[in-house]
Structure 1
Amino acid sequence: MYPYRKTAVAAVALWAAALGLLVGCERGSAPSTATASGRATATAPAATATATADGCPEALRKARAAVQAAERTDTAWRGPRSGPAAVPDKTLVYVAQTMTNPGVAGVAKGVKEAAATIGWNVRVIDGEGTPAGIQAAFSQAVTLRPSGIVIGGFDPRLTSQQVARAEEAGIPLIGWHAVSSPGPSASPKLFTNITTRVEDVARISADWVIARSDGGAGVVVFTDDSIPFARFKAQLIKGQLARCPGVRLLTYENIPIPDASQRTPQEVSSLLSRFGRRWTHSIAINDLYFADAAPAFRAAGKPGDGPPFNIGAGDGDPSAFQRINGGQFQAATVPEPLTQQGWQIVDEFNRAFAGSPPSGYVAPVHVVTADNSRGGTSWDPEGYREAYEQIWRR
């Protein structure tokens, strides 16, 4: 029912095999409850409620400004507008972690679209979500001797032999979510890696809660500490929430993604019983937690449009958009601009083929809500197609 789950489970297996397990769980309490308007206030008398909401005026001001900017859909293209003209007659191979992952598939669509525009050929090889499948797909890609290879959504350290073979053959590699940070990578060697900055995603997610609650919320954070990247994101979220004294962390729920479908409904039921109306907002490192939480919220009689108000700190797969647009237990997400990132991958390869450095562009974070999604199922900003086409025509 949720195609992203197969990908997420496989991703956990890949991360665990490469980096081992990190575990942790922290718990706390918060004195806030939700009003009829959905805004969080304190359970103490009105004077205390006002003090809570006013407890972080500077953080609240900054959060509101940041969220307002991130929710805009009419922003101008701020990516590259100059670069080398199109290098002709190139072929790319896109090695996908699994094409059942909407993110991986969305980027592949963008790569094929941009390659057709620039006059290149693209072949997609599906790793089918297993380490063995990904290694086989990568081996096949190297054997084809393409001009460049895209590492689509998996850790290249788990395909070190294939990476070494590509390097020996002089085939440049570009990653999408291959390592945790955007830009070039020395180990593993990547011309560049395309992703939003995890720090920015964590910050805007926390800002959304601070702004949405007027600086007075009771928050549950859902994460998977077995994935170092996810744990790092969750810790950043905690740190950002702590900027506002009126925002209290109720609990930090460590639920491994492979166990999420079984554990999340039980945990959510327990949390609802434990915190009641003090639980006003949630942040999850992956949208799928809210798909799993929905039955428990529904069984408890919670309204689909909140509270609690839930935001996914990253990804933005189609099912998340559907929940947001339908008011079904998710209010917002911080999506990746998948098609645009596919176009960027093609442009970065063109720079590599021309002997130019990477562009250095990193897409800014964007917050999607029912008010600005326009009924869509992905985030596709404007202006990048025209900008890249103009560069390549020079």
Structure 2
Amino acid sequence: MSPRSASRTRKATAARIGVARAAALALLAAAAAVTGCERGSSKGPAVSTTGPGGCPAVQVSAGAAVALAERTAPAWNGPTTGPGAVSGRTVVFVAETMTNPGVAGVANGLREAGHVIGWDVRVIDGAGSPAGIEAAMSEAVALRPAGIVIGGFDPGSTAQQVAEADAAGIPLVGWHAVVAPGPSRRPPLFTNVTTRVEDVAGISAQWIIAHSGGRAGVVLFTDASVPFARTKSDLIRAGLATCAGVRLLATENIPIPDAGSRTPREIASLLSRFPDTWTHSVAINDLYFADAAPAFRAAGRKGTGPPFNIGAGDGDPSAFQRINSRQYQAATVPEPLSQQGWQIVDEFNRAFSGRPASGYVAPTHVSTAANSAGATTWDPPGYREAYRKIWGR
């Protein structure tokens, strides 16, 4: 890449990051003004969900945004030009843990795309532990592949291995490795593939506003020990606060590793505290509703709600199964996991060709029983054909 091209790329990247950061800061500022709920606690006022007349103007914009996000056949808005396939490369996907459906879904998409472009794709499982992830990264660097994927973990946790890869000239592409999509200087990522957290948080709040007609009592489930999750939940709170008829009844801070044991107990307590005013829930990850379902069932609540539950993240197969069977989850904001695997291959192909990253960020989607057609993943159309055309495959 020429210095002039590199300069243009850095300026464009900085502009994109600046816009995203400005949007996030605006929402976070609004979140700071939200009252009636203390972050990281389950304390909140048991207020009426009728509210002071809802929020007609906000409802209109929320409904339009949700309708757009619920489309099942959106036109491909990703790259249509780029370098032809570079042949004979090996890429290693280092997985945080292959038991995470999101990580596994991206790895499967990467394998599929790797087969099409003619590369060898190897997956090394970090097994979910710091020691396992560090060992997996060390193994990946030792293989001296053409590229390494940081699959779902913080590059800072393997800083030594990241530095070794960078020094060896091995490009790194992240998937959910840092908060923002796009290239990163620290850590040194050619690009990071992810949806925008502010978009996911925003559409989750808008779905509740639209679904409730601007009158809802909401419980938010988060893990405040994880900065990314805390940011997402703060943004969701800010989005909900834009509607005067929506009340945040409680924020449940449940660390993800403790969700299996704690969520059922908290659900029982919440049902006792808010038997009539709790109409909707939103969680930073679908898994909370997997653990909540038995408690709702034991309390005699119908699977079709209320409360109507939306997961702001991942969209794993079990979430789709709950949604499609109408069992204690109404919607999810899923990642296009297979598409992201194909994008990772395309980003590496650009890196190997001396081109800048594509800058593509997948738009948010909302999946419900009405639009999923029984599917267990969100697999939008068009990307396979587009990437094949770019690569000449």
Shared fold, TM over 0.5? yes
Q: Following the alignment from structure 1 to structure 2, what is the Cα–Cα distance between the partners of residues 66 and 128?
A: 38
Q: What corresponds to 1:247 in structure 2?
A: 246
Structure 1 Cα separation of the partners of residues 305 and 327 of structure 2: 9
Give the C-alpha shift of residue 26 in structure 1: 6.1
Separation in structure 1 between the aligned mates of residue 195 and residue 93 of structure 2, nearest angstrom: 20
Q: How far apart are the structure 2 equivalents of 1:320 and 1:93?
A: 28
Would you say the 8 A contact 1:32–1:279 is kept in 2? no
Residues 63-72 or 252-261, more deviating: 252-261
In structure 2, the residue matched to 1:323 is 322
Give the Cα separation in 1 of the matches to 2:381 and 2:248. 37
Distance, in Å, in 2 between the alignment partners of 1:259 and 1:100 is 16
Q: 2: distance between equivalents of 1:248 and 1:27? A: 13
**Equivalent position SS for 1:218:** strand
Instruction: Name the residue aligned to 2:43.
Output: 27
Query: Which residue of structure 1 aligns with residue 8 of structure 2?
Result: none
Give, as a single letter, the amino acid of the residue that structure 1 aligns with 2:292: A
In structure 2, distance between residues paired with 1:226 and 1:201:
19
- In the TM superposition, what are the counterparts of 1:158-307 in structure 2 within 5 Å? 158-307=157-306
2:351 alignment counterpart: 352
Other structure's SS at 2:105 match: helix
Report how far residue 29 of structure 1 moved: 2.5
Q: Which runs of 5 or more residues in structure 2 are unaligned?
A: 1-38
2:378 is aligned to 379
Q: Report the counterpart of residue 62 of structure 1 in structure 2.
A: 61
Structure 2 residue identity aligned to 1:294: A
Superposition TM-score, scaled by structure 1 size: 0.88
Read off the aligned partner of 2:283 and give its amino acid letter. Answer: A
Residue 91 of structure 1 contacts residue 148 of structure 1 at CA under 8 Å; is this kept in 2?
Answer: yes
What does the per-residue CA deviation read over 1:290-331, in whole Å, with 9 as the maximum and x for residues that have no partner? 111111111111100100000000111111111111111000
The 2-side partners of 1:264 and 1:119 are apart by 45
The 3-state SS of whatever aligns with 2:177 is coil
**TM superposition shift of 1:30:** 5.0
Distance in 2 separating the partners of 1:118 and 1:260:
40
Correspondence 1:112 to 2:86: no
DSSP-derived class of the 2:183 partner: strand
SS of 2:385's equivalent in the other structure is helix
Mapped contact 1:30–1:249 kept (Cα < 8 A): no
Give the RMSD, CA atoms, in angstroms: 1.4
Q: Contact conserved, 1:282 with 1:311, CA < 8 A, in 2?
A: yes
- Identify the residue that residue 79 of structure 1 maps to in structure 2: 78
Shift of 1:89: 1.2
1:24 CA drift (Å): 2.8
Segments of structure 1 that go 5 or more residues without pairing to the other structure are 1-22, 34-41, 43-48
The DSSP-based 3-state class of the residue aligned with 1:283 is strand
Whole-angstrom distance in 1 between the partners of 2:133 and 2:259: 24
Contact 2:46 2:273 in 1 (8 A): no
Kindly indicate whether the alpha-carbon contact (under 8 Å) linking 1:56 and 1:215 is maintained by their aligned counterparts in 2: yes
Map Cα deviations across residues 162-184 of structure 1 (whole Å, 9 max, x no partner).
00110111100000011111001
Distance, in Å, in 1 between the alignment partners of 2:120 and 2:303 is 45
Aligned residue in 1 for 2:152: 153
Report runs of 4+ in structure 1 exceeding 6 Å deviation: none
Which position in structure 1 is the counterpart of 2:30? none
Q: Residue type of the partner of 1:105? A: A
Q: CA deviation at 1:28?
A: 2.7
What code does the residue aligned with 1:183 have? G
TM-score (norm 2): 0.89
- In structure 1, the residue matched to 2:87 is 88
Q: CA deviation at 1:27?
A: 3.2
